[in-house]
Chain A
């Protein structure tokens, strides 16, 4: 279970302040799939970062009682100057997993072949997404945090991701930030709409999608 208790987040730069989230309460239960909806800049990614513990809330508290992945997105989580293999090694070390298993999975899932021996900064965004997905699926988590990335990459890769995430791992919890109402309808149990720094929770997905479309 993940509990966000009354969390707020404010960014300050010089004298400028921006309140991105105010008093958000959200509980994610094991096996539950929660969609985050909102316009660009509404605070979806921020909420995901707070849940992941990448950033700290200005006030309020996030409690995690299951293992939570790092935010799966385009950037973050790896080091551009290192090769794909080095990044895999790093992940294996800090999550205390067997490197050879992770290596096999990454090779198989990402289909990057010899590119894995090149620094990640030479990868295209699609290739990065492949590596990012491969690395985070190589480690089993109770809850996956996914930030838009699902729609990156070619058809074949998208199919693979869906299979790994939504078919093989049906028992896992997921928090999914997406603009794709189709995907949300198909996959999620609940939806959170973030608008003007407030979060509204809907257990009826259709209703949430309707409201979101009118924002």
Chain B
């Protein structure tokens, strides 16, 4: 009995990989085409965004703040938040847009969210690695002090963003009003994303409050991973992890609920 369960699990996993692979290629070709640099476009957008904003900050605020390079600081903050904002924006109405794919039973609605998010992650991480390499070479950024912490921070940041996508996607199918609120909400979220500051730069009162944000915790980990002893970081891994697990559970339930009512043309 246990063996047949195991075999089923393995078969299911094989189907999952196949479908994800096929959907990713499909998504990349529809979004970026095969012309010029093709799928490399996925990292251009976060790259431009982070690069230009960092340049703007550099010109208005000078080269350093609290002893770290402004350019590197802004870039390390902006690329993760692009992941979150794009991920959420791409989750809106994702089931309806892709509904024709549901003609194939092995394709599940969760795959739509997973595929789009994975593409955003790959784009974000490639952009991060690319720009960090350049900044390290020109001496604007140190070699990461603690690679493990940096990656763990990225992982938690991505996990939390993903759990939000799992909720936004089904909710956007249930109510069209939601769609109108997503852009403004993600914009208002920026101050709570840990983008422009380290928690240690804030007053103790604000510190306590801002550390409720899972984004801030994960961002502190990433920055600590890069700058090490040059910065003081405040974080708990349990905050983003806890939030993500709870939101994922709610999101999966909502997806299941919405699937039953989804009308496919």
A interface residues (Cβ-Cβ under 8 A, vs B)? 11-12, 49, 52-56, 58, 68, 70-71, 75-79, 81-82, 86, 89-91, 93-96
Q: Nearest Cβ in chain A — how far from B155, in angstroms? A: 28
Q: How far is B107's CA from A77's CA once the two chains are assembled, in angstroms?
A: 11
Decide if B30 touches A94 in the complex (CB within 8 Å): no
Contacts of B22 in A (CB 8 A): 90, 93-94
Known A76-B100, A94-B106; contact A55-B29, beta-carbon cutoff 8 A = no
Nearest to B21 among chain A residues (CB) is A93
The secondary-structure label for the interface of chain A is: loop
Chain B window 227-265, contacts with chain A (Cβ cutoff 8 Å), 1 for yes, 0 for no: 000000000000000000000000000000001111111
Known A11-B263, A93-B18, A93-B21; contact A54-B26, beta-carbon cutoff 8 A = no
Nearest to A77 among chain B residues (CB) is B103
Q: Nearest Cβ in chain A — how far from B100, in angstroms? A: 5
Decide if A53 touches B105 in the complex (CB within 8 Å): yes
Decide if A12 touches B26 in the complex (CB within 8 Å): no
Q: How far is B262's CA from A102's CA once the two chains are assembled, in angstroms?
A: 31
B residues 13-38 in Cβ contact with A at 8 Å:
18-19, 21-22, 25-26, 29-30
Contacts of A79 in B (CB 8 A): 26, 30, 100-101
Decide if A86 touches B100 in the complex (CB within 8 Å): no
Known A53-B105, A70-B103, A70-B104; contact A94-B18, beta-carbon cutoff 8 A = yes
Nearest to A53 among chain B residues (CB) is B105
Contacts of B18 in A (CB 8 A): 93-94, 96
Decide if A94 touches B19 in the complex (CB within 8 Å): yes
- From A75, A89, A96, give the contact of B265 (CB < 8 A): A75
Q: Nearest Cβ in chain A — how far from B239, in angstroms? A: 36
Given A79-B101, A82-B30, 11 new contacts (CB under 8 A): A53-B105, A54-B105, A56-B261, A58-B260, A76-B100, A76-B265, A77-B104, A82-B26, A82-B29, A94-B18, A95-B104
The secondary-structure label for the interface of chain B is: helix
Contacts of A49 in B (CB 8 A): 264
Decide if A78 touches B30 in the complex (CB within 8 Å): no
Decide if A94 touches B104 in the complex (CB within 8 Å): yes
Nearest to B27 among chain A residues (CB) is A79
Decide if A76 touches B103 in the complex (CB within 8 Å): yes
A/B interface sample: 25 pairs, CB < 8 A: A11-B263, A49-B264, A52-B105, A54-B102, A55-B262, A56-B261, A58-B260, A70-B105, A75-B100, A76-B100, A76-B103, A76-B264, A77-B100, A77-B103, A79-B26, A79-B30, A81-B30, A82-B29, A86-B26, A91-B104, A94-B18, A94-B22, A94-B104, A94-B106, A95-B106
Q: How far is B100's CA from A54's CA once the two chains are assembled, in angstroms?
A: 9
Q: Nearest Cβ in chain A — how far from B79, in angstroms? A: 28
Decide if B103 touches A94 in the complex (CB within 8 Å): no
Q: How far is B53's CA from A207's CA once the two chains are assembled, in angstroms?
A: 74
Q: How far is B105's CA from A76's CA once the two chains are assembled, in angstroms?
A: 13
Contacts of B259 in A (CB 8 A): 56
Decide if A86 touches B264 in the complex (CB within 8 Å): no
Contacts of A70 in B (CB 8 A): 103-105
